[in-house]
Chains A and B, each alone.
Chain A
């Protein structure tokens, strides 16, 4: 038996000439909680769709639970659970019926279904809502039911595509606690998310994916450590001018500049701050604020994927490409 739950080898997906996933390779160990991060349109969802056999790759291969995602699609399907990004529970059925029909589709017998429905409803704290119609559920409850359904047939691997998207912080914390409980049961979890503190909190390994390629893959701790030192952010109206002055003195490397803020990495930030203030004062630049922090996963993410605005455009183009592709 292999130690890996998922092995991906040069997996590629194109939609009418647009390469959504470009030859990615990675492996996920059994029982691991693996995070897939990246801007909208980076290829996360396409990767998930391929691994869950909803889309066929154009090239490359992948094994999920030891089964080939193309040749043994049904074996893959039986052994995985999926919680989709958009709500897919049936609102005109009760919570019980949603789970029961799911169990039947996955070939579970009556006794197994009954026991399991009780277990998964308890896990997501919806036992009291068992026989209520899903259309009366709040967004957070639907999401919890969705997670319960993904776990219904006791999958070995659970795919969670943006499980806490659009949820309030309380619900999000609850969902985190369910995910942590699952980890103790030895389920392998693949999580995609935009919330970097979520990935930081939950994931053991993180792959940052951008423009269809994995740009970096490591533990959150190592990724942050690789950033080195600390990050200094200066708030001022004259970002360009100050940046030029600092660059001349070799005090800021690879800065990110906006209209109101400069930020850059520094080895010994503590000593640097007074010097920066001195330079700014001499040049008559008004500094509204200056702060230093240890790199977060968000800094790592921005470091590898760059500016924020490009991402949304990319997201649009991937979705349009997918729509066009499916729309024949």
Chain B
């Protein structure tokens, strides 16, 4: 059947309309990242007055926003299965790839809106310099790559684990470790060895490093390297999601 752009658009439209229809969720999901930025960032900054810790974690908090929103969006296929809407999608004359791509782009769109809101609030709050137009394009590109990978990871998980009860499991065993065992909150070179090792195989670290270079001008790796690893992750995630979702059934 292949991928049909107009049907990808239909699936995308559904995701975005659903998102825009739940205003309370938009505001609600800004709460946690802001709390991290303000409370954790503010508290630790006071302990280390010479370093701008709050500025340092802003890219990490943007990554966190993308991580939570994207994975949840992908995993929401579980809810669609529970509430029946998945049947409507699977019975439609659209290929599984079409559905996966549409959902991925839809979930990524909502995650990027959230992340951009956090970035604007973060820049105002921490007082760091506004990135140049050229850097903004880079930031946006990295947001697209990271969020698409993460929605795909969510879809892949939702295709294997089908019970709503496992939702919490995904939260605790996937999202939290990906967030805490990365360079989002701590600089790589200051970590204990074991954590340094894990953070280096965590693909999120490279996306956050890329954002950090583009927002603050400093990072652990080169920008090309960060983009390379992130793109590679995206390709793997999309293939995994398409494969696993093609096996899923009503």
Tell me if A's interface is mostly helix, strand, loop or mixed. loop
Closest to B89 in A: A105
Q: Is A101's beta carbon under 8 Å from chain B?
A: yes
Q: Is B22's beta carbon under 8 Å from chain A?
A: yes
In the complex, which of the residues B85, B88, B249, B250 has the most CB atoms of chain A within 10 Å of its own CB atom?
B88
Cβ-neighbour of A74 out of B6, B9, B88, B93 (below 8 A) = B93
- For A78, the chain B residues whose CB sits under 8 A away are 93
- How many A-B residue pairs lie within 8 Å, measured between CB atoms? 76
- For B160, the chain A residues whose CB sits under 8 A away are 328
Question: Known interface pairs A55-B250, A104-B13. Does A86 touch B84 (Cβ–Cβ under 8 Å)?
Answer: yes
CB distance from A323 to the nearest CB of B (A): 9
Closest to A87 in B: B84
The CA of A88 and the CA of B11, in the complex, are separated in Å by 15
CB distance from B11 to the nearest CB of A (A): 8
The CA of A237 and the CA of B10, in the complex, are separated in Å by 63
Interface residue ranges of A86-141 to B (CB < 8 Å): 86-93, 97, 101-102, 104-107, 133
Binds B, one of A46-54, A189-197, A269-277: A46-54
CB distance from A155 to the nearest CB of B (A): 11
Closest to B161 in A: A327
CB distance from A126 to the nearest CB of B (A): 18
CB distance from A106 to the nearest CB of B (A): 6
Q: Is A326's beta carbon under 8 Å from chain B?
A: yes
Q: Is B162's beta carbon under 8 Å from chain A?
A: yes
- For A91, the chain B residues whose CB sits under 8 A away are 83
A88 near B88 with CB under 8 A, answer yes
Closest to B4 in A: A107
In the complex, which of the residues B22, B87, B92 has the most CB atoms of chain A within 10 Å of its own CB atom?
B92
- For A34, the chain B residues whose CB sits under 8 A away are none
Closest to B250 in A: A54
A54 near B91 with CB under 8 A, answer yes
CB distance from B19 to the nearest CB of A (A): 9
The CA of A209 and the CA of B160, in the complex, are separated in Å by 33
Question: Known interface pairs A49-B250, A84-B84, A88-B85. Does A77 touch B93 (Cβ–Cβ under 8 Å)?
Answer: yes
Q: Is A82's beta carbon under 8 Å from chain B?
A: yes
- For B92, the chain A residues whose CB sits under 8 A away are 77, 102, 105-106
The CA of A54 and the CA of B81, in the complex, are separated in Å by 13
Question: Known interface pairs A88-B87, A90-B85. Does A105 touch B10 (Cβ–Cβ under 8 Å)?
Answer: yes
A326 near B162 with CB under 8 A, answer yes
Closest to A326 in B: B249
B91 near A52 with CB under 8 A, answer yes
Question: Known interface pairs A88-B87, A90-B18. Does A104 touch B93 (Cβ–Cβ under 8 Å)?
Answer: no
CB distance from A214 to the nearest CB of B (A): 23
B18 near A92 with CB under 8 A, answer yes
In the complex, which of the residues A84, A89, A90, A91 has the most CB atoms of chain B within 10 Å of its own CB atom?
A90
User: Which 8 residue pairs across A and B have the least CB separation, nearest first?
Assistant: A104-B10, A88-B84, A77-B93, A105-B92, A78-B93, A88-B88, A92-B18, A86-B84
- For A88, the chain B residues whose CB sits under 8 A away are 83-85, 87-88
The CA of A93 and the CA of B13, in the complex, are separated in Å by 11
- For B162, the chain A residues whose CB sits under 8 A away are 326-327
- For A86, the chain B residues whose CB sits under 8 A away are 84
The CA of A146 and the CA of B21, in the complex, are separated in Å by 20
